[in-house]
Amino acid sequence: MLSEALLRADSITRHFETVFLFTKADVRTTLIPVTIFALAASPTHHFSCALHAAFWIWLHLLQFNISNQIQDPEEDRKNKPSRPIPAGRISVDSAADMRWVLTPVCLILSWWHGTQALMASVVFAALTIWYNELQGDKMGFSKNVLTAILYGCLEVGGTVAAGNSFIDDAGVLAVALSSTVFATTLHAQDFKDELGDRLTGRRTLPTIFPKAARFSMMLGIPLWSFGLSCIWKIDLLSTAVLVAYGAFVGNRFVKYRTVSADKQSCKFYSMWYSLCHLLPGYWRYFHGAV
């Protein structure tokens, strides 16, 4: 009996681990930054709802990742063998079933949080389908824009869940700015995969315009640091620190061009983007009437 219980517990643990592995790569780049944004942009400050926001974001991220990873498992076997499907932890059919079960689950959870969260969930589900259809066209420039809109949906839903309330005008501005920043700097995450993308024919800014894409990091990140600081009325010292860090991150992409260096630069970029997500919270605390 004890051995059967242990086997059952081990099986359950393995299933949870498999589900987590679908989203593991996006914890640092998406889950943490968007959760930070949701807490900073929420018009009401129920920090006890942080887990609600993180769970809403993670569940939708899981839906997207499963939908995306069942599209071309053969490519993942070559480039990302640790993912659950190429690793043999789950079949494509089972993953597809899970993906379609998650859709109504996400909608029900969003309905519980209110109309704005529900609308964000509906748009997110529709755009996920569109994103996967465009994958066959190797994406190109549309990847940045579409991914930024998907990211914005996560921010809207997460912000509503964080405050268990609504998203106000300042929150809408924060989402719009964040999505625009993401659309213009998202290719920071593509440099480390440039070689594999070239082999598979995937069109990204680093594969289409390798030099210009790197120089856009050097210019864009510090410029956005300064612009966002002005918009959210950040103090002079904090502005100087953020711009200096942005310049450091942007210059890394130009100066260091190996795969390992690009992976490290991507981590610095994720930290910079997370810091930018704190700025609406700064404005609310010092300037907003909440």
Domains of the chain: 13-286 (1.10.600)
Of 283, 278, 220, which is closest to residue 40 (Cα–Cα)? 278
The token pair that represents 31 in the structure block = 């889950």
Is residue 93 pLDDT above 60, yes or no? yes
Q: How far apart are CA 51 and CA 281, in angstroms?
A: 18
Is residue 6 pLDDT above 50, yes or no? no
Q: How far apart are CA 241 and CA 238, in angstroms?
A: 5
pLDDT for position 290: 43
Is the model more confident about 218 or about 75? 218
Under a CB-based contact definition with an 8 Å cutoff, are residues 116 and 56 in contact?
no
Total-model pTM: 0.86
Q: Confidence band (pLDDT; 50, 70, 90) for 289? A: low
Summary mean pLDDT of the chain: 86
Beta bridge partners of 133: none
**Mean of pLDDT values over 185-189:** 89
Q: Confidence band (pLDDT; 50, 70, 90) for 45? A: low
* Residue 204 C-alpha from the chain's centroid: 17
Q: Confidence band (pLDDT; 50, 70, 90) for 41? A: confident
**Mean of pLDDT values over 273-285:** 92
